[in-house]
Chains A and B, each alone.
Chain A
Amino acid sequence: MNNNFVKGSWQEILDWAQNKSINMLHYCTGCGAIELPPTMTSRYDMSRFGIGPAATPRQADLLLVTGYLSTKTLRRLIYTYEQMQAPKFVVGFGSCTINGGMYWDSYNTIKQLDKYLPVEMYIAGCMPRPEAILDGLLKLKKMIANGEADGYKRYEENLDFYHQNQEAILGEVQRTQ
């Protein structure tokens, strides 16, 4: 029991550090990418909240999916997500990731990101302004600090569900393990 208490407090410390320091991998194939440079640079400097860009999936904590995903890019997104190290978080960005947005009847894009990867939260809008992005990321920070952002655990628990959905639309998906 004492051991559990120590473990719990250590986890709280780690959650606190995680919420103060987030490295973001922005998956910029959608049009939402255009809103990120102003969010990162001088106008709306996001680094004051401890959020910075990451160069590779291995170093990243947060996967920002900026806009629509064609089935071709979904495969790359899944590979990217599986290369990241837990704790890892996914944020859907723009209405395309929620319900397909303006691509609602496209034959070649996915409509709901939630079916393929565990999404912590969405930032709605087409496109969301930098203020909205910052607001969303601050909410994500709060979720991480409270230990509510547990998408990577959900992914492990419901691995079959996610794999089934991924394979239904992509056919075969390479798995590392």
Chain B
Amino acid sequence: MIDIIYRIGHFVLITVFSMALGLLFMGIARKIVARIQKRYGPPVYQPYLDVLKLFGKDAITHGFIFDFGAIMALGGVIATLFFIPLGSWQLYSMEGTVILVIYLLAIASLGMAMGTVGSGNPQASVGISRALMQMLGYELPYLVILFALIYRYQTSSVWGLMQAQAGSFLNWNLFAYPLMAAVAFVVLIGMMGKKPFDSMIAPSEIGSGPVVESGGKYLGMLLLQKSITIIIELALFVNLFLGGAENILIFTFKMLIVWVLATMFGSLFPRFRIEDGIKFFWKWPLGIAILQALYIII
């Protein structure tokens, strides 16, 4: 009984922590982008105010599927969160969590897709179809990398892959396999929908894509979903390539560094068209990933 209460408390704690941290990261990103554009920028705590405001607004529903899609998107990412070690915080550790995480992340995207179908807005459909196509683009190189790592360390749990890099920082996959880390970084930018690969949300072209019909409380919920997604993707990168961390503070610091770098890269480039983005993913990242995988296997 105590064990169950402890575990539920842990669930809630991790979820709230990731939401808060993700929103903080979004605030930091807005500040960085502003400084790059020689602006002063909104305060760092602006996303918290946005969420509070959005939950105080009215919201209009477009039917059951629309509601269910939003809940599925949020639930999907919260479920994913429990399989990723954050520092020493780790709820479930078993073989195969790497593959499980990739599957569960897709559930969140499919939830978004359901929501957009429910709203019936053509721009939302265009946005989500681009998002799913882009997923097809970046998941291929990412899976090649993951399978190469799984083969190299003979374990398929995120925790195990993190443990395998323990010891000196030279054991980190970032230094052991730098090409692979570079591919994963490009994939990370694509996953987070940052600038060269943000054709799915293109605000001036298709009115922010999948979230075009979500206002008020729905947008607040999707903002929270986005914040957790950011934490998941950063945590996965830190665990796989920066050797994780023994406590949550160092882990947060590593995530912050990766996030700042990704934001800076993101604010330098113009937007790819969706087909060019996929072509890019299937040409350079996939090619380099396969080369590196061959190097590991042979």
Known interface pairs A50-B43, A50-B46; A85-B60 also in contact (CB < 8 Å): yes
Contacts of B212 on A, CB cut-off 8 Å? 55-56, 58
Interface residues of B in 210-252 (CB under 8 A from A): 211-216, 219
Which of the candidate stretches A13-21, A71-79, A165-173 sits at the interface with the other chain? A13-21
Cβ of A42 within 8 Å of any chain B Cβ, yes or no, is yes
Chain A's closest residue to B213 (CB) is A58
Chain A's closest residue to B45 (CB) is A20
Contacts of B41 on A, CB cut-off 8 Å? 45, 47-48
Cβ–Cβ contact A58 & B214, under 8 A: yes
B41-79 vs A, Cβ < 8 Å mask (1 yes, 0 no) = 111001001101100111110000000000000000000
Q: Interface size class for chain B?
A: 20 to 34
> Bound complex: CA of A49 vs CA of B42, how far in Å?
7
> Bound complex: CA of A42 vs CA of B49, how far in Å?
23
Cβ of A52 within 8 Å of any chain B Cβ, yes or no, is yes
Cβ of B40 within 8 Å of any chain A Cβ, yes or no, is yes
Cβ of A151 within 8 Å of any chain B Cβ, yes or no, is no
Known interface pairs A41-B39, A48-B40; A14-B203 also in contact (CB < 8 Å): no
Cβ–Cβ contact A50 & B213, under 8 A: no
Tell me which of A20, A52, A53, A57 has the highest count of chain B C-beta atoms within 10 A of its own C-beta: A20
Cβ–Cβ contact A17 & B53, under 8 A: yes
Interface residues of A in 61-89 (CB under 8 A from B): 61, 84-87
> Which of A20, A45, A87 interacts with B40 by CB under 8 Å?
A45
Cβ of B34 within 8 Å of any chain A Cβ, yes or no, is yes
How many A residues touch B, CB cutoff 8 Å? 24
Known interface pairs A41-B39, A48-B42; A55-B207 also in contact (CB < 8 Å): yes
Give chain B nearest CB distance to A22 CB in angstroms. Answer: 8
> Bound complex: CA of A95 vs CA of B187, how far in Å?
50
> Bound complex: CA of A151 vs CA of B249, how far in Å?
47
Cβ–Cβ contact B59 & A20, under 8 A: no
A15-49 vs B, Cβ < 8 Å mask (1 yes, 0 no) = 00110110000000000000000000110010110
Known interface pairs A52-B42, A58-B214, A85-B216; A21-B57 also in contact (CB < 8 Å): no
Cβ of B37 within 8 Å of any chain A Cβ, yes or no, is yes
Give chain B nearest CB distance to A39 CB in angstroms. Answer: 12
Cβ–Cβ contact B38 & A42, under 8 A: yes
> Bound complex: CA of A127 vs CA of B63, how far in Å?
43
13 A-B residue pairs with CB within 8 Å: A13-B52, A14-B53, A18-B53, A20-B49, A45-B40, A45-B41, A47-B39, A52-B42, A55-B208, A56-B207, A59-B211, A61-B53, A85-B59
Sorted from nearest, which 4 A-B pairs have the closest CB atoms?
A58-B215, A14-B56, A55-B208, A45-B39
Question: Could you tell me which B residues sit within 8 Å of A by CB distance?
Answer: 30, 34, 37-43, 46, 49-50, 52-53, 56-60, 203-204, 207-208, 211-216, 219
Question: Could you tell me which A residues sit within 8 Å of B by CB distance?
Answer: 13-14, 17-18, 20-21, 41-42, 45, 47-48, 50, 52-53, 55-59, 61, 84-87
